[in-house]
A and B are shown apart, each in its own frame.
Chain A
Amino acid sequence: QTVVTQEPSFSVSPGGTVTLTCGLSSGSVSTNNYPSWYQQTPGQAPRTLIYTTNTRSSGVPDRFSGSILDNKAALTITGAQADDESHYYCALLLDSGISLFGGGTKLTVL
C-alpha cells in the first residue's frame, strides 16, 4: 500500500529557512503527482499554500515556495515567522485517480 511520507516534526528559528519534504513509498514524486501543500492550525480548516508543485495560492506570502527536490515534493519557508508555527500537509495524486495526504509535519518556530 502506497504511503506519503513527511517529517513528523521540524523546528526553525525566526527568520530562518526550512524545507519540508513529501515522499512516496512506491517511488519518486514528480510534477505528474501534482503536489499541493496545506497549512492547518488547531481547530481551523486547512489553508491552501501551494498547488501543482510550485504555484502559490492567492494571498500566500512569497516566503512560501514549492519544488521537487531529490525525488520528493518540497515546501520551503524562507524567513520563517512566528505565525508560521503550524501543521503542514502535502497531497499527491496517484495514477489510479486516488489522492493521498502525508501524515503532516508539525513546524515549531523558536
Chain B
Amino acid sequence: QVQLVESGGGVVQPGGSLRLSCTASGFIFRTYSMHWVRQAPGKGLEWVGVISSDGSKKYYADSVKGQFVISRDNSRDTLYLQMNSLKPEDTAVYSCARDPAAGRVRWFDPWGHGTLVTVSS
C-alpha cells in the first residue's frame, strides 16, 4: 500500500540546521509532486512547500522561504527538507504528503505520520 515515512527529527539548538527525509513506497514516486506540512504542538496545519515530480519547480510558504529547501532523489524514492537557521517557532511535527493531482490541481493524500522537530537551547 502507499506509505510515507518521515525521519530525521530531533532536538536542535536555535540557529542550527536539520535535514528531514520522507521515504515513499507503494507508488511510482517519480511521477508525483510532494509536499511538506508542519503542525506546531496544539496548533493547526501549516503548509511548508511543494516540489514537482522532477524537482524542477518548488514553492514555499512565506514563513520558510529562504530558510528551508525542499529536494528529492527519485532514484531513492525519497523527499528531503533541509531546514536552516532554525528558530523556536519552527518546533513542530513535520509531515510529508503526496499530491495525487496533475497540473495545477492540488490536494494532499496520503500523509505520513510525521517527525518531531524541537528547536530549543
Contacts and interface: CB of A to CB of B under 8 A. Distances in A.
A86 B108 CA distance: 18
Contact of B111 (A34, A46, A93, A102): A46
A52 B104 CA distance: 11
Contact of B107 (A1, A91, A102, A103): A91
Contact of B104 (A38, A87, A93, A102): A93
Contacts of B66: none
B95 interface: yes
Interface residues of A, number: 25
B89 interface: no
A36 interface: yes
Interface string A87-110: 101010100111111111000000
Nearest to A50: B107
A59 to B, nearest CB: 11
Interface residues of B, number: 25
Nearest to B95: A45
Contacts of B11: none
B111 A45 contact: yes
B112 A101 contact: no
Contacts of A17: none
B108 A91 contact: yes
Contacts of A1: 62
Contacts of B100: 51
A44 B114 CA distance: 9
A38 B45 CA distance: 10
Contact of B112 (A45, A51, A52): A45
Interface in A1-41: 1, 34, 36, 38, 40
Contacts of B44: 87, 89, 101-104
Contact of A45 (B35, B50, B61, B113): B113
Q: 8 closest A-B pairs (Cβ-Cβ)?
A: A51-B107, A36-B107, A48-B109, A104-B44, A45-B111, A97-B59, A99-B47, A101-B45
Interface of A: 1, 34, 36, 38, 40, 44-46, 48, 51-52, 57, 87, 89, 91, 93, 96-104
